C-alpha cells in the first residue's frame, strides 16, 4: 500500500487532480522565489565581501629601522625598503648609505640601516674640497676620495701629523684631512750634493728634517724662511770655526769672513781706542784660528819727587870760631812728572815719563860759621898755656904692643907718651894739644878709620899704657897752624 502511494505522487500533473496541480504550481513558484532570494542573498553577500576587501587596509608586518646607530621598532605594510623610508619620511642625502638597497623587499623582521654621511674637509697641496662620507677612518675617506699617498707625503688628521700606519687605526671620527705632497729638493752643502723628498713648508724646516746642522754664521741660500717649491736647490756656504778670547771670555764661534777683522765683527767683538788683536786685524783668517783681543787702556798719573835742599855754610868773621848760626831754614822742593801708564787686559805693562815740571823749588839752608879766633889760657900741670880752640873729642889710647910692636908713627916719631894720633884734615901735624888727665901732646901720628868725626888717640909706651875710652875736651895750643880748618865736620 505504501509503495503505491509514492508512485501516485510521482505521476504527471495531467493525470493528477486539480488540487494536486495547484499544489505543484505553488511549490514550483515557491522554489523559484526561494532560488531568487538565495541568489539575491548570495549577490548581497558577495558585494559586502567585495566592499570590505576594498576598504580594509592591507596587513602590516614588523620591521626595524636603524638611523645612525639609533634603532626604531615599527609596523609597516611597505613592500620595498624605499617605500618603507618614504613611509616614515626618512630622507636619503648625498653620501648616505642604505642597507639593504632601496629596491629590496621588506619582509617581517627586516632590519633597514641608514648611515648618515658627514662632511669631511680634505685639503691636498692647499686645495680644500668637502667630502660627504659615512667613513670615520681617514684612510677609508682618502680611498673613497680617490687620493693615494706617497711614502714621503705629509698627512695631518685634525691638525695632528701622522703616518700611514696610524691612518688605518685612527680611533675617532675625523673632520679635516690635510695632505702635503712631497717635492724633490736638491741640497748643496759645500762639496756634497744630495736630493731629498720633503713636505717641509720652508727651507729651514727641510734642512731640519734631514738633520743638517747649521751654525749662525753659515750662509744658506735661499734664506731659511723661503717656502719650499718643487725642484728647489738649497746652497749652504759653511762658516769657519774660530776661537776668540776677549774680556776674560773664550768664545767658540764661526765666521764667513776672510780676515781677523771680519771674524771679530761677526763675533760682535769691537776693537776700540788702542785695542789690538793677536794676530793683527788684517791677517788672513784660517780655520781653527785662535784670536786674542788685547784691551788697552792708558792713564796719566802725576808722580811727585822731593828735591832735597842744600846746606850752605857762610863764613862770618864777626862770629867766634866754632860758633854757628842758622840764617835760613831749608825747605824741600817738589818736582812733578806726568807718567803715562799702559794697561793691557788690566795688567800694567809700561810706564813712560812724559813731562817734568818743578812744582816748588827747594830752598837752601844757610848756616853762618865763625872764623874769628879768640886766644884763651888754660892752666896745665906744666903751667898756663895759650890755646886758640877747644874740641870735644872721643878719646882712646894705644901703645906699641897693641900694634904688634910697631912703635914708629906716621911722622917718624917714636910712639911713646906725648905723641897723639889725630886726623890731619882737622888737626894739622905738629899741632900741640892739651888733654886734661893726659897732659900735653904733639900731633905726630894718624889713626885708623873711626866712626866718630872728632877723635884723638893718646900714645903711650908699653910700660905706662893707660886705657882711654871717653869724650874729652882737647885744647889746641898756640902757635896757630898755617892751615886752619874753620868748619869742622859734623
Going residue by residue through the chain, which has 490 residues, state the pLDDT in tens, using 9 for 90 and above.
333 333 333 334 444 455 545 655 666 666 667 667 756 664 564 454 444 444 456 789 999 999 988 999 999 988 999 888 998 889 988 888 898 989 999 998 889 999 888 888 989 888 898 888 888 888 888 888 888 887 778 888 998 888 767 777 788 888 888 888 889 899 998 789 999 889 889 999 999 988 998 888 888 989 999 999 889 999 998 888 999 999 999 998 888 888 999 989 888 899 999 999 999 999 999 988 999 999 999 999 999 999 999 999 999 999 999 999 999 999 999 999 999 999 999 999 999 999 999 999 999 999 999 999 999 999 999 999 999 999 999 999 999 999 999 999 999 999 999 999 999 999 999 999 999 999 999 999 997 777 778 999 999 999 999 999 999 999 999 999 999 999 998 7
Listed residue (48, 50, 86) closest to 65, CA to CA: 86
Contact between 114 and 135 under an 8 Å Cβ cutoff? The reply is: no
Contact between 325 and 319 under an 8 Å Cβ cutoff? The reply is: yes
Look at residue 57 in the predicted model and tell me its pLDDT: 66
Separation of alpha carbons 214 and 233, rounded Å? 17
Question: Phi/psi of residue 370, each to 5°?
Answer: -80, 145
| CB half-sphere exposure, 441, CA atoms < 13 A | 28
- Between the CA of residue 461 and those of 323, 398, 464, 465, what are the distances in Å? 37, 8, 6, 6
Contact between 266 and 255 under an 8 Å Cβ cutoff? The reply is: yes
| CB half-sphere exposure, 160, CA atoms < 13 A | 13
Contact between 375 and 387 under an 8 Å Cβ cutoff? The reply is: yes
Look at residue 281 in the predicted model and tell me its pLDDT: 93
Amino acid at each position: 500500500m505504501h509503495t503505491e502511494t509514492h508512485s501516485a505522487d510521482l505521476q504527471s500533473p495531467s493525470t493528477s487532480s486539480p488540487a494536486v496541480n495547484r499544489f505543484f504550481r505553488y511549490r514550483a513558484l515557491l522554489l523559484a522565489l526561494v532560488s531568487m532570494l538565495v541568489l539575491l542573498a548570495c549577490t548581497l553577500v558577495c558585494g559586502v565581501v567585495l566592499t570590505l576587501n576594498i576598504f580594509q587596509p592591507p596587513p602590516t608586518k614588523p620591521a626595524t629601522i636603524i638611523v645612525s646607530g639609533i634603532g626604531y621598532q615599527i609596523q609597516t605594510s611597505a613592500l620595498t625598503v624605499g617605500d618603507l623610508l618614504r613611509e616614515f619620511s626618512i630622507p636619503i642625502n648625498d653620501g648616505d648609505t642604505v642597507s639593504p638597497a632601496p629596491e629590496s623587499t621588506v619582509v617581517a623582521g627586516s632590519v633597514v640601516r641608514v648611515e648618515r654621511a658627514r662632511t669631511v674637509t680634505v685639503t691636498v697641496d692647499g686645495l680644500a674640497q668637502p667630502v660627504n662620507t659615512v667613513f670615520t677612518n681617514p684612510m677609508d675617506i682618502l680611498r673613497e676620495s680617490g687620493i693615494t699617498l706617497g711614502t714621503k707625503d705629509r698627512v695631518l688628521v685634525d691638525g695632528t701629523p701622522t703616518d700611514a700606519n696610524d691612518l688605518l687605526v685612527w680611533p675617532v671620527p675625523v673632520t679635516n684631512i690635510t695632505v702635503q705632497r712631497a717635492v724633490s729638493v736638491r741640497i748643496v752643502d759645500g762639496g756634497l750634493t744630495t736630493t731629498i723628498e720633503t713636505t717641509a713648508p720652508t727651507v729651514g724646516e727641510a734642512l731640519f728634517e734631514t738633520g743638517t746642522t747649521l751654525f749662525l754664521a753659515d750662509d744658506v741660500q735661499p734664506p731659511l724662511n723661503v717656502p719650499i717649491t718643487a725642484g728647489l736647490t738649497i746652497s749652504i756656504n759653511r762658516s769657519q770655526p774660530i776661537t776668540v778670547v776677549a774680556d776674560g771670555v773664550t768664545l767658540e764661534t764661526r765666521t764667513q769672513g776672510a780676515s781677523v777683522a771680519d771674524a771679530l765683527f761677526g763675533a760682535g767683538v769691537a776693537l776700540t781706542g788702542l785695542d789690538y788683536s793677536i794676530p793683527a786685524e788684517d791677517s788672513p783668517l784660517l780655520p781653527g784660528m785662535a784670536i786674542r783681543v788685547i784691551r788697552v787702556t792708558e792713564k796719566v798719573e802725576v808722580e811727585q819727587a822731593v828735591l832735597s835742599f842744600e846746606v850752605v855754610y857762610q863764613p862770618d868773621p864777626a862770629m867766634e870760631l866754632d860758633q854757628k848760626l842758622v840764617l835760613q831754614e831749608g825747605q824741600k822742593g817738589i818736582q812733578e812728572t806726568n807718567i803715562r801708564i799702559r794697561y793691557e787686559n788690566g795688567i800694567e805693562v809700561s810706564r813712560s815719563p812724559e813731562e817734568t815740571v818743578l812744582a816748588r823749588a827747594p830752598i837752601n839752608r844757610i848756616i853762618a860759621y865763625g872764623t874769628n879766633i879768640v886766644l884763651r889760657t888754660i892752666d896745665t900741670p906744666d903751667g898756663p898755656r895759650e890755646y886758640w880752640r877747644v874740641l870735644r873729642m872721643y878719646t882712646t889710647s894705644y901703645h906699641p904692643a897693641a900694634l904688634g910692636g910697631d912703635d914708629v908713627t906716621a911722622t917718624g916719631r917714636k910712639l911713646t907718651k906725648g905723641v897723639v894720633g889725630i886726623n890731619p884734615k882737622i888737626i894739622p901735624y905738629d899741632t900741640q894739644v892739651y888733654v886734661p888727665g893726659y897732659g900735653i901732646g904733639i900731633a905726630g901720628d894718624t889713626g885708623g878709620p873711626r866712626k866718630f868725626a872728632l877723635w884723638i888717640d893718646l900714645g903711650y909706651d908699653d910700660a905706662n899704657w893707660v886705657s882711654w875710652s871717653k869724650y874729652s875736651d882737647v885744647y889746641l895750643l898756640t902757635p896757630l897752624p898755617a892751615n886752619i880748618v874753620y868748619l869742622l865736620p859734623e
